[in-house]
Amino acid sequence: MINHFRQAPAVCPRCHYQFDCSTKIMGDDDEAPKPKDITVCFKCAAILEFTEDLNVQFLTQETMDNVPVNQLYELLFMARKIKQFWAEQN
Ligand SMILES: [Zn+2]
């Protein structure tokens, strides 16, 4: 089962979409987002990471360097799916 987590509003630094919910797609289903977790903006597909206060920022070089390659593929796949979803809405 996919869990959705309610959270304080966070703002995408690329498209300024404000979201208050995230969905876990990798790792322990019951674990809420934590700082340095990686997420994908549902509006513009930017790959982002949670900050200490659970807002989001662009991926830092440090985080990027530490993402396992298979997870990087998953993130890019997710970003592509989001772009396809919005393209099909038009
Ligand atoms: Zn965005």
- pLDDT score at 22: 80
Question: pTM for this one?
Answer: 0.84
- Cβ burial of 45 (10 Å; 0-12, 13-18, 19+) is buried
CA of 19 to the centre of ligand 1 (A): 10
Q: Give the count of domains, the chain.
A: 1
Query: What is the band of 29 on the pLDDT scale with cuts at 50, 70, 90?
Result: low
Domain that holds residue 74: 4-89
CA of 78 to the centre of ligand 1 (A): 13
Give 67-70's long-range contacts (Cβ < 8 A, gap of 24+): 67/38
CA of 52 to the centre of ligand 1 (A): 19
CA of 40 to the centre of ligand 1 (A): 8
CA of 68 to the centre of ligand 1 (A): 23
Specify the DSSP class assigned to residue 81: H
